[in-house]
Structure 1
């Protein structure tokens, strides 16, 4: 029974079936995962589960380095977590509008390393990709080296989401696009907080906002 049939039988709007977009590419990737060495799958599974923690570390490094930079740079560094949360909010709106079934439901015979999420845990866009790419894009606006590391990590995160069977490739690409488009704009807007940072550097928050001599 397809997702559309289930939805109609339940009297609700049917979920979107994205398998017609790139379902064959998804199954090609997951079949590679089926035959891959167990160690490789373990590494990718660990990365897809815990890799977002790296972006939190990169945000801390950006803040630490910004202590030696001018107020606009510090304002952008402090805004990175807020920017990521804001972009994630846009992602959740898109999820609720599109309501795309997970590939493990639309393609029930496909191989997955992760258990299939519950119905209603929509697939488009990929949350992990939105978070990873928005963080990388925001970091790029502050420190090119950190941004480059973040971008490589984001690409790896996006690939891992398809490899473990959680998302179609188009879910990942959409998540990347949302993050790359919105995060730089919001990060630049955060520069408007530079006067506040400049004032705060003369107050009790000085140790957090300025490197000690």
Structure 2
């Protein structure tokens, strides 16, 4: 049988750190664990709201800003697709299945639900980076939220730290590159603003 390019067992990279973080979670106050677990499970909805806010704030901005704001959800989908390719290529076993650890805050995903990279982290950082190209203030808020999302995936026990780091790199790369490129669609936004979509896309910044 031909071995995979990357080891199925990622514990040799940072399994010790993962085990330590899960141990911290096990001794943390119940309210803190509950807060982190809820954020880890539901926090992606915050990024959807931030992208909606990006569109709202871009209604009075230049057309390239609106183009980047509108592209943010598309960028997230593209980053998620790239992440899926990496997962299928590496097939890294989840740390909660590979290592002998206490019960994790989040139930360990089924066998075949691979670990590397972290989907949640890719989505969060892609959204943050894409928003950064359109709106620095919203991008900064989203970046803080993305860091918290990535950290939470280790805390609840379903990812190694390197899964999160890789997810952040993929998300930022996709968000910055595709978000910036989306600004080239400014002429389309400008034409749409002059038509029936003017009420949705806004009038833009005065010349």
The TM-score bracket by the shorter chain reads: over 0.9
The question of 1:100 aligning with 2:86 is answered no
Q: What CA distance in whole angstroms lies between the structure 1 residues aligned with 2:200 and 2:100?
A: 51
Q: Which residue is 1:43 aligned to?
A: 35
Gaps of 5+ in 2: none
Once the 2 structures are TM-superposed, how far is the Cα of residue 181 of structure 1 from its aligned partner? 1.4
Partner of 1:87: 79
- Larger mean CA deviation between 28-37 and 109-118 belongs to 109-118
Residues 103-114 of structure 1: pairs in structure 2 closer than 5 A: 103-114=95-106
- 1:177 corresponds to: 169
Aligned equivalent of 1:145, options 131, 137, 145: 137
Distance in 1 (alpha carbons) for counterparts of 2:123 and 2:17: 23
Q: 2:186 — aligned with what? A: 194
* Unpaired segments ≥5 residues, structure 1: 1-7
Partner of 1:124: 116
Work out which of the residue numbers 10, 18, 21 in structure 2 matches 1:18: 10
Q: TM-score if structure 1 supplies the norm length?
A: 0.91
Instruction: After superposing the two structures, state which structure 1 stretch, 82-91 or 109-118, moved more.
Output: 109-118
C-alpha distance in structure 1 between counterparts of 2:113 and 2:102, whole Å: 18
Secondary structure, aligned partner of 2:110: coil
**More divergent stretch after superposition (99-108 vs 13-22):** 13-22
Q: Is the 8 A contact 1:161 1:167 kept in 2?
A: yes
Match of residue 207, structure 1, among 171, 190, 199: 199
Please identify, of 46-55 and 184-193, the stretch whose mean Cα deviation from structure 2 is larger. 184-193
Structure 1 runs (4+) greater than 4 angstroms displaced:
12-15
Q: Determine if contact 1:19/1:103 at 8 Å carries over to the other structure.
A: yes
For residues 123-154 of structure 1, give each alpha carbon's deviation from its aligned partner in whole angstroms, at most 9, with x where no partner exists. 00000000000100111111111111001000
Give the length in aligned residue pairs. 203
Pairing partner for 1:73 from 60, 65, 71: 65
Partner SS state of residue 125, structure 1: coil
Aligned partners of 2:7, 2:13: CA distance in 1, in Å?
Answer: 15
Structure 2 equivalent of residue 3 of structure 1: none
Measured after TM superposition, the shift of residue 108 of structure 1 is 3.3
Q: Supply the RMSD in Å over aligned alpha carbons.
A: 1.9
